[in-house]
């Protein structure tokens, strides 16, 4: 049972924080306009730079999505069958459906890599370097990208091979069998992610700071939380951005705090970030997400089956001989899954944003609004976030609420001081946060210049492994 009151906390202080949490709700508190908030936390030049960075990355995201849809549409409806027949003409391929499948998937993967690499390089290194967010050279970015491909491409191949085998064996009920099997696979992958996959890209070490660990322990006791570890994630090998996540299941569950966050945030701000991640655990967001994915996968695969019946058989009720499906038909399943997941992404993101608001409210209840607000301001500055992106973009693409919305929901500093009078000594004005943000920005810029050695730098990289854990 979760308790909002920590050990030794006064009833007055506890009630004040509970009132603050109730006022948080999920609705923006109307204490500031968007323009006033932006003016308080950033200089106009900094805000313009953040929005310029955000616009470029948004265009890259949309271009990447469009490229995937167009590529798989052409492969499915125009080139899949002739490509398979061409590959079958090679002696080592022949009539074996497994060898034909392998040759087709290898060819499709190579085509997809050729299409996506320029976009990935531009958004992941050129843009990030230009805005001073990357710690990688072009060579090191390419090496990490190749490592990512060495994991992703074989994994995708075996997933598609497994899907096609399930379709051929289970026939018209393939969608039910595939949903259950892939759900089990997702559990296994999620369990292994923080202990097997993540260390391939970042150094993961147990957090040794005794002051922070004592603070975390006190917060964790309120939720009866038992973790295998609270770890430091070496994000600075790749980026200057700050981040945190909770990942893993059971004995592998970890709270992972980026070293870029630990270095630039105060201890009470880091504790607020930890409390946010703790909120995901308390609210069972990962479990709910997995169960929601299981239920959604039944519907998604069923819709794909209907679409395939109509495309290949001519009607929604067509009787098909699934055991004799041609190898190139797998391209339709890939294309249909891409379309449906794109259409359903706003629903998934809406659920994720609700979970993030709940985690914010939990952090507010445990730590009060002051430290959480300062942490959000520093995140916006250090990560060059647009405080208020367009509504359609948040609706369609964002798994987190806009950082400006999250700050506004906490109220004005003067009001938060009134709500938590016992925290007056720890309260820092927004003007001071703004100064701290400038210092962080100058420090990052100076470190970036010292690394480059010349004026010929271009710029950094997005995180290669998304959605494998709850991020801050």
Segment 67-102, tens digit of pLDDT: 999 999 999 999 999 999 999 888 688 888 999 999
Are the CB atoms for 123 and 129 separated by under 8 Å?
Answer: no
Nearest residue to 31 via CA among 410, 363, 365, 386? 410
Helix axes 138-170, 174-192, angle to 10 degrees: 150
Three-state SS at 457? coil
Three-state SS at 233? strand
Nearest residue to 103 via CA among 88, 114, 81? 88
- Quick check: is 369 in a domain? yes
- pLDDT at position 228 is 59
- Quick check: is 6 in a domain? no
How far, CA to CA in Å, does 63 sit from each of 111, 290, 418? 16, 29, 47
In the numeric block, which tokens belong to residue 145? 């990208």
Strand partners, 229: 254
- Quick check: is 19 in a domain? yes
Work out whether the CA dihedral 144, 145, 151, 152 comes out positive or negative: positive
Domain interval for residue 91: 11-453+460-471
Are the CB atoms for 50 and 417 separated by under 8 Å?
Answer: no
Three-state SS at 223? coil
- Quick check: is 52 in a domain? yes
Give dist(CA 443, CA 29) in Å, integer: 33
- Quick check: is 4 in a domain? no
Nearest residue to 159 via CA among 195, 176, 183? 183
Give dist(CA 360, CA 353) in Å, integer: 10
Are the CB atoms for 471 and 245 separated by under 8 Å?
Answer: yes
Three-state SS at 209? coil
- pLDDT at position 257 is 96
Note down pLDDT in tens along the chain; length 472 residues. Answer: 333 333 333 333 344 344 444 444 334 444 568 998 999 999 999 999 999 999 999 999 999 999 999 999 999 999 999 999 999 888 688 888 999 999 999 999 999 999 999 999 999 999 999 999 999 999 999 999 999 999 999 999 999 999 999 999 999 999 999 999 999 999 999 999 999 999 999 999 999 899 999 899 889 888 777 655 889 999 999 999 999 998 888 888 889 999 999 999 999 999 999 999 999 989 999 989 999 999 999 999 999 999 999 999 999 989 999 999 999 999 999 999 999 999 999 999 999 999 999 999 999 999 999 999 999 999 999 999 999 999 999 999 999 999 999 999 987 665 444 444 444 344 344 445 444 444 444 444 444 433 333 332 323 333 333 434 444 5
Three-state SS at 439? helix
Are the CB atoms for 94 and 88 separated by under 8 Å?
Answer: yes
In the numeric block, which tokens belong to residue 129? 């370097």
Work out whether the CA dihedral 306, 308, 314, 319 comes out positive or negative: negative
Pairing of strands 254-258, 229-233: parallel
- Quick check: is 5 in a domain? no
- Residue carrying the six token digits 């925290």: 423
- Quick check: is 340 in a domain? yes
Structural domains counted in the chain:
1
Nearest residue to 470 via CA among 279, 216, 267? 279
User: Residues near 93 by Cβ (< 8 Å), separated by ≥ 6?
Assistant: 87, 99, 100, 103
Classify burial at 293, counting beta carbons within 10 Å of its beta carbon; exposed 0-12, middle 13-18, buried 19 or more.
middle
- Quick check: is 210 in a domain? yes
Q: If you ran DSSP here, which 8-state letter would residue 398 be given?
A: -
Give dist(CA 214, CA 216) in Å, integer: 5
Are the CB atoms for 190 and 468 separated by under 8 Å?
Answer: yes
Nearest residue to 373 via CA among 273, 255, 223? 273
Nearest residue to 28 via CA among 349, 388, 282, 350? 388
In the numeric block, which tokens belong to residue 149? 């491909």
Are the CB atoms for 420 and 20 separated by under 8 Å?
Answer: yes
244-247: strand order across its sheet: 204-206, 229-233, 254-258, 244-247, 470-471
Give dist(CA 442, CA 270) in Å, integer: 21
């Amino acid at each position: 049972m979760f308790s909002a009151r920590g050990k030794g906390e006064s009833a007055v202080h506890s009630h004040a924080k509970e009132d603050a949490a109730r006022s948080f709700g999920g609705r923006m508190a109307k204490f500031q306009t968007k323009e006033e908030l932006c003016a308080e936390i950033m200089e106009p030049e900094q805000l313009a730079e953040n929005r310029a960075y955000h616009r470029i990355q948004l265009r890259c995201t949309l271009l990447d999505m469009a490229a995937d849809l167009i590529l798989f549409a052409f492969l499915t409806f125009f080139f899949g069958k002739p490509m398979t027949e061409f590959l079958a003409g090679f002696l080592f391929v022949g009539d074996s459906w497994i060898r034909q499948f392998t040759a087709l998937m290898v060819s499709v993967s190579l085509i997809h890599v050729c299409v996506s690499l320029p976009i990935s390089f531009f958004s992941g290194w050129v843009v990030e370097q230009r805005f001073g967010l990357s710690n990688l050279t072009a060579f090191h970015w390419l090496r990490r990208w190749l490592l990512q491909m060495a994991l992703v491409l074989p994994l995708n191949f075996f997933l598609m091979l497994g899907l096609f085998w399930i379709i051929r064996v289970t026939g018209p009920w393939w969608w039910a069998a595939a949903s259950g099997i892939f759900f089990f696979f997702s559990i296994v992958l999620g369990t292994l992610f923080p202990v097997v996959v993540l260390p391939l890209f970042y150094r993961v070490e147990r957090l040794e700071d005794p002051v922070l660990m004592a603070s975390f322990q006190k917060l964790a006791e309120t939720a009866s939380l038992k973790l295998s570890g609270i770890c430091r994630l070496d994000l600075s090998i790749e980026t200057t951005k700050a981040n945190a996540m909770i990942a893993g299941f059971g004995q592998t569950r970890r709270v992972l705090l980026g070293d870029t966050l630990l270095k630039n945030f105060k201890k009470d701000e880091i504790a607020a970030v930890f409390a946010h991640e703790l909120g995901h655990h308390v609210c069972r967001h990962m479990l709910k997400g997995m169960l929601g994915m299981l239920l959604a996968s039944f519907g998604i695969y069923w819709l794909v089956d209907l679409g395939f019946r109509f495309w290949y058989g001519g009607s929604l009720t067509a009787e098909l001989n699934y055991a004799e499906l041609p190898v190139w038909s797998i391209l339709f399943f890939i294309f249909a899954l891409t379309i449906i997941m794109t259409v359903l992404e706003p629903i998934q993101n809406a659920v994720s944003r609700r979970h993030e608001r709940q985690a914010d409210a939990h952090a507010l209840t445990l730590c009060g609004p002051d430290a959480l607000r300062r942490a959000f301001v520093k995140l916006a500055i250090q990560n060059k976030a647009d405080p208020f992106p367009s509504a359609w973009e948040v609706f369609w693409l964002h798994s987190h609420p806009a950082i400006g919305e999250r700050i506004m929901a906490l109220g004005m500093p003067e009001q938060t001081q009134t709500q938590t009078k016992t925290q007056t000594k720890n309260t820092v004005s927004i003007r001071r946060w703004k100064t701290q943000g400038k210092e962080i920005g100058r420090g990052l810029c100076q470190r970036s210049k010292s690394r480059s050695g010349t004026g010929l730098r271009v710029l950094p990289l997005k995180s290669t492994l998304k959605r494998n854990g709850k991020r801050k």
